[in-house]
Amino acid sequence: MNKLDITDAEQAAQLVSMGLRGRQVPGRDAVYRTLVDRYRCDDVFAAAVDAIAMGLGLAVLDVTAVSGIVLAAQPGSPFEIKMDDYARQAKLRERRDTEKVLHGIAHLAIAALAFPRPDDLANDQYVGRVSVEAVDLVVRETCRVLKDRTMTETGNTDTSAEAPELEQAWRAYANRHEVASTKDNRNNSDSTRGMVRRALRWLAERGLVQAVGEESDETFRPTSRYQIHVRQLASQAAFRELLELGVVPRIALEPAHVTPAAPAN
Amino acid sequence: MNAVEAGHQRRPELSGADTEARAELDLLRYAKLALAEGREAENRGEHDEAIARFAVAAEQGVGDSVLLLAGALTRAKRFEEALEWCELAADEGFDEASDLAARCRAALGLPAPVAELPPAPPAPAPPTCEPAQLPGRSAGLTASADLGLTRRLKALACTAPLHELDYHKAKLDWVDATVYQMAEVAMHTIDQVTIAMDFDTGAAHDAVQERVTPFISAQAPGRSVEEHRRVARWVLEKLINVGTVDRVFHHVYGEIGADGDYRRLTFDFKLVREVAGNRGEIYLRTTDEAINVLVGALDTDVESAQVAAEVKLENLIIRGQLADARVAAEQARYRTVQYGEMLRHKLDATRRDIRVVDWEQELPEMLDKALTHIEDRFKVEHAILRHITQARDESDDPDHKRRAAELVTIVADCIRRHTQLQNRIQSARSVFREEQDRQRFSGSPQRAALDLHGQLLKPVLALPIVDAVAPLEQFFRAASGAQSPDAPALPSLVSMLLRPNVDRDRTAGPVVVPELDEAQDDRRFTDVHKAQADALLDLPGQVRTLGSLLQEAADFDDELPALVALRAANAYNPAISTAVLKGKSRMLVAVPANRLIESPDGATGDDLLLTTAEVVVPAEEQNTVHEESA
């Protein structure tokens, strides 16, 4: 539209900084809303925001009136969240990989339950519901199905004692207890429900899910930001890994890579 | 010794030629004796003697004597003789013989037999690798001949945690546990949990402990109740396997695979596990493994075991063996619970995600099967119930009577559980239709997106852990957005680090006595007002209008009339019972005067006639009042 001056650069950086504060939404902040509107209308401003984000090692996934600016950290960026940091807080008495995989499954299952069908993931208006209990039950059921499948295929589901690292993920999850009683009735963080609960609270801290109902219900609804993260980036990244491992059949799928969202309209 | 010589003279192909010399029975007995003597001789290290004895036995083909003889000959380095016996042994079906034969041939430099080779002719060809195949093949045969081995090993493993309780009880430092039979307590605990298990819930920790404690106190009546409880808790925790990260019992067992290799596998199982109830409370449930250990019918099909248990029960009742019948009835009940568990799983899964359950084939079949099953069981169990009831009524033996009565309870419980199961099954299809409507028929696809469950979660779960790490880390990193890293300001960090330690006083310092301001008196009516109003409204034996009282009050100051008016309005329809309860002797009573109030300061409304009345309590009421107040 026009040339960029210093004030515009400041505003563009401000928009990026708002994206870093996960719980801020345009609906509750007039300044934010103005900036989002400007991003969507002003191409030059949008390019400036993208460039500033890029320089910080961030990619703009999308900018909408509901979610605000959705930023993803690129590998190596200071804003990146690593699984190692997340799982570090967990007790690591057993093998580290197992803990990481269990935490990862909790996160993936939350997304899978938040958007049960492909349509739900694609539909911006869809609002899902996730509860700790449901996530755990869905994964356990899937584990059971996989166990049945292994049983019919090989006739024996036990892992080799000589190569414990070949233990399948479903077995690790199914073997882990779902709840455990503690002396002071607190939640046990080693159990699968404890992990799911931690993941949901952690996402809630980042404004990716929101608690609904009573606290004891442990029910959350995914926010628009989370949907964009999962749809644009996370599911694709994980799927690409699976393709490389040759686990899922290679079907016609759009090449997935992080692209700065084109300004709408 | 002549027998030994005879053995040496005979060739294998001649065996059986001189059976006519002695009666066959004698020969056999003699041969068995020789075999036993041979073993003893071998244990003593007298190889020649052993060989001689084995030869006698081998002539008659007693037991594994042929094989033993071949082995002994090999050890004595008489390979040619050994080889002959080996082949004979192989013909008789001893797989190990081929291994031995291969060793003999290798020692003699003979090639392996290609087909039905006569033993004698030595061939100049160098030994090939074929003998090596023989042991492998024989191992495969051994494995395939013993299909139940793995199952039995696993079943055995399930009992190991119970035995370990007794091994480890000596290590407990808080109790001298020699009097307690921990394995029995564990069995009892599993019993209690299983019986309390229902479709929806399990058993609560405390309830199980309460129910097991009497059994424990029966084992050690002299000890304290506190100790009994602690033993119950200890056993329960050991059954849950508290203290390990995943609470799984691991048992390593070996199996010979399809390719003939021996491989070690880990069998993971649990006995009692903790599950979450509907309101977040934690319950105990026994696992299938535990139920199988308990029932004793290890690793069996649910349905066939049920049928077997009930047929057994019927037989027992017909023969009047009620003690055994009771065991069988309890087994039948455990089986019923197990069957219900299976159905519960499927229905829950349907409710959560309709796609993970095969509603086209698997589940309808299963429902039909379950319904047929229930129908059969109803017939059988009602028949049993009739039989036992009859047995109970006809029996004169009080012990029989009591046992039969217990059986009646158990079978009635079985029937109750079946009814419960049937209700579930009947509603299952409507659950499916509702869930189908809810989950599938809503909206049309909009744009391509991944199916998170089918295309990500399921494949990832099927991966080995080492492979699953990478995709999950990718997902986690991308789905959790960006975080703002903590950036400490160096100057403030340095100054914080360099700040000298403050010497802390051991006491918290002097107690500060707060200075309190006088509470401001902002009440509308002061105590003087109240006293004035009381005086004005104390009207024993006289009646005055509110208007005149207000006029009098207005002489005092501007606020008093308002208080008097309020008191008067309050006296209209007074709370007599409250006055009685509080023990007041007099109270103000107001009645309307049917004219408007005449007041100098502009008060409006009906005038009231006021008087003070005595509160009189009738005698009997007075008593109740006193009682109440007491």
Average pLDDT value for residue range A65-85: 86
Name the one residue in this structure whose structure tokens are 């719980």: A23
The pair of three-digit structure tokens given for residue B561, joined into one six-digit string: 């009339």
Q: How far apart are CA B545 and CA B539, in angstroms?
A: 11
Determine what percent of chain B falls in helix, strand and coil, rounding each to the nearest 5: 65, 10, 30
In this complex, which of A116, A123, A206 lies closest to B353 when CB atoms are compared?
A116
Return the SS3 of B282.
strand
From chain A residues 113-142, the ones with a CB under 8 A of any chain B CB are: 115-119, 121-123, 133-134, 137-139, 141-142
Does A245 fall in a domain?
A: no
Average pLDDT value for residue range B99-113: 62
In this complex, which of A73, A93, A234 lies closest to B475 when CB atoms are compared?
A234
Residue B225 confidence (pLDDT) above 70: yes
Is residue A174 a contact partner of residue A167, using CB atoms and an 8 Å limit? no
Triad B140, B142, B143: Cα angle to 5°:
65
Q: Tell me the sheet residues that pair with A69.
A: A63
Average pLDDT value for residue range B356-379: 77
Q: Considering only CB atoms, which chain A residues are within 8 Å of B475?
A: 104, 107-108, 111, 234-235, 237-238
Element holding B427 (H helix, E strand)? helix B398-439
Q: How far apart are CA B510 and CA B333, in angstroms?
A: 72
Domain formed by B2-145, architecture: Alpha Horseshoe (1.25)
- How many C-alpha atoms does A163 have within 13 Å on its Cβ side? 8
In this complex, which of A20, A139, A233 lies closest to B478 when CB atoms are compared?
A233
CB contact under 8 A, B465 and A234: no
pLDDT digits (tens, 9 = 90+) for B150-184: 777 887 888 888 888 888 888 888 888 888 888 88
Average pLDDT value for residue range A238-249: 80
Q: If you average pLDDT over each of B22-36, B180-194, B318-332, B479-493, which comes out highest?
A: B180-194
Q: How far apart are CA A177 and CA B188, in angstroms?
A: 23
Torsion, Cα of A128, A129, A134, A138 (10° steps): 10
A164 and A62 fall within a common domain: no
B375/chain A closest Cα distance in angstroms: 28
Is residue B182 a contact partner of residue B165, using CB atoms and an 8 Å limit? yes
Does A246 fall in a domain?
A: no
User: Do the strands B586-596 and B606-614 form a parallel or antiparallel pair, or are they unpaired?
Assistant: antiparallel
pLDDT value for B316 = 53
pLDDT value for B448 = 60
pLDDT value for B45 = 67
Q: How far apart are CA B478 and CA A232, in angstroms?
A: 9
Considering only A208-222, A228-242, B308-322, B329-343, which range has the smallest mean pLDDT? Answer: B308-322
What secondary structure letter does DSSP report for B612? E
Residue B190 confidence (pLDDT) above 70: yes
Residue B248 confidence (pLDDT) above 80: yes
pLDDT value for B496 = 84
Q: If you average pLDDT over each of A42-51, B442-451, B489-498, which comes out highest?
A: A42-51
Average pLDDT value for residue range B265-278: 82
Residue A109 confidence (pLDDT) above 80: yes
Confidence of residue B15 (pLDDT cuts 50, 70, 90): very low
Sign for the CA dihedral angle at A214, A218, A221, A222 comes to positive
Q: If you average pLDDT over each of A50-64, A245-259, B55-69, B194-208, which comes out highest?
A: A50-64
Q: How far apart are CA B630 and CA B627, in angstroms?
A: 5
Q: pLDDT above 90 covers what percent of chain B?
A: 0
- DSSP readout, A107-123? HHHHHHHHS-SHHHHH-
The pair of three-digit structure tokens given for residue B564, joined into one six-digit string: 């008097």
Does A238 fall in a domain?
A: no
A108 and A181 fall within a common domain: yes
What secondary structure letter does DSSP report for B242? B
Long-range contacts of B382-385 (CB under 8 A, 24+ apart): B382/B415, B383/B314, B384/B310, B384/B313, B384/B314, B384/B317, B384/B329, B384/B411, B385/B411, B385/B412, B385/B415
A63 and A87 fall within a common domain: no
State which residue of chain B sits closest to A225, comparing Cα positions: B481
Does A97 fall in a domain?
A: yes
CB contact under 8 A, B352 and A118: no
pLDDT value for B111 = 54
The pair of three-digit structure tokens given for residue A216, joined into one six-digit string: 């004891």
Considering only A96-100, A206-210, B112-116, which range has the smallest mean pLDDT? Answer: B112-116
Does A37 fall in a domain?
A: yes
Q: Considering only CB atoms, which chain B residues are within 8 Å of A160?
A: 263-266
Q: Which amino acid is at B515?
A: E
Does A179 fall in a domain?
A: yes
A32 and A128 fall within a common domain: no
Average pLDDT over chain B reads 73
Confidence of residue A123 (pLDDT cuts 50, 70, 90): confident
pLDDT value for B206 = 85
A100 and A63 fall within a common domain: no
Q: How far apart are CA B172 and CA B230, in angstroms?
A: 11
Q: Considering only CB atoms, which chain A residues are within 8 Å of B345?
A: 141, 144
Return the number of CB contacts < 8 Å for A and B: 289
Q: How far apart are CA B397 and CA B462, in angstroms?
A: 60
Strand order in the sheet with B586-596: B544-545, B606-614, B586-596
pLDDT digits (tens, 9 = 90+) for B59-85: 666 666 777 777 777 777 777 777 777
CB contact under 8 A, B453 and A142: yes
pLDDT digits (tens, 9 = 90+) for A145-156: 888 888 888 767
Average pLDDT value for residue range B539-562: 82
Q: How far apart are CA B599 and CA A166, in angstroms?
A: 100
pLDDT value for B148 = 63
- With CA atoms as reference, report the closest residue to A139 among A179, A114, A106, A161: A106
Name the one residue in this structure whose structure tokens are 């609960």: A197
Q: If you average pLDDT over each of A57-66, B141-150, B273-282, B603-612, which comes out highest?
A: A57-66
Higher pLDDT, B517 or A89: B517
Q: How many separate helices (H) and strands (E) can be counted in chain A? A: 11, 6
pTM: 0.54
Higher pLDDT, B102 or B194: B194
| Structural domain total, chain A | 2
From chain A residues 41-80, the ones with a CB under 8 A of any chain B CB are: 58, 70-73, 75, 77-80
Higher pLDDT, B81 or A211: A211
pLDDT digits (tens, 9 = 90+) for A27-65: 888 999 999 999 999 889 999 999 999 998 898 988 988
Confidence of residue B625 (pLDDT cuts 50, 70, 90): very low
Which of A14, A45, A73 lies at the terminal end of a domain, its last residue?
A73
A91 and A196 fall within a common domain: yes
pLDDT digits (tens, 9 = 90+) for B548-559: 888 888 887 878
Is residue A100 a contact partner of residue A192, using CB atoms and an 8 Å limit? no
Confidence of residue B537 (pLDDT cuts 50, 70, 90): confident
Confidence of residue B294 (pLDDT cuts 50, 70, 90): low
Q: Which of A142, A233, A243 best probes binding to B when mutated, by most B CB atoms within 10 angstroms?
A: A142
Q: Which amino acid is at A227?
A: Q
Average pLDDT over chain A reads 81
In a 10 Å sphere around its CB, with 0-12 CB exposed, 13-18 middle and 19+ buried, how is residue B517 labelled?
A: exposed
A90 and A36 fall within a common domain: no
Does A32 fall in a domain?
A: yes
pLDDT value for B629 = 43
Confidence of residue B494 (pLDDT cuts 50, 70, 90): confident
pLDDT value for A49 = 92
Element holding B605 (H helix, E strand)? none
Q: How far apart are CA A98 and CA B468, in angstroms?
A: 9
Does A243 fall in a domain?
A: no
Residue B186 confidence (pLDDT) above 80: yes
E-strand stretches of chain A: 58-64, 68-73, 130-131, 159-160, 209-212, 219-222
CB contact under 8 A, A101 and B265: no
Q: How far apart are CA B462 and CA B450, in angstroms?
A: 18
Q: How far apart are CA B168 and CA A87, in angstroms?
A: 34
Is residue A13 a contact partner of residue A52, using CB atoms and an 8 Å limit? yes
Residue B342 confidence (pLDDT) above 60: yes
Is residue B471 a contact partner of residue A9, using CB atoms and an 8 Å limit? no
Q: pLDDT above 70 covers what percent of chain B?
A: 68
Per-domain residue ranges of chain B: 2-145, 148-295, 307-435, 527-629
Domain holding A123, by residue range, is 83-222
A92 and A65 fall within a common domain: no
Average pLDDT value for residue range B83-103: 66
Is residue A180 a contact partner of residue B250, using CB atoms and an 8 Å limit? no
Alpha carbon separation from B520 to B513, B527, B531 (Å, rounded): 21, 15, 21
Alpha carbon separation from B306 to B200, B329, B340, B380, B383 (Å, rounded): 22, 10, 12, 11, 16
Return the SS3 of A216.
helix
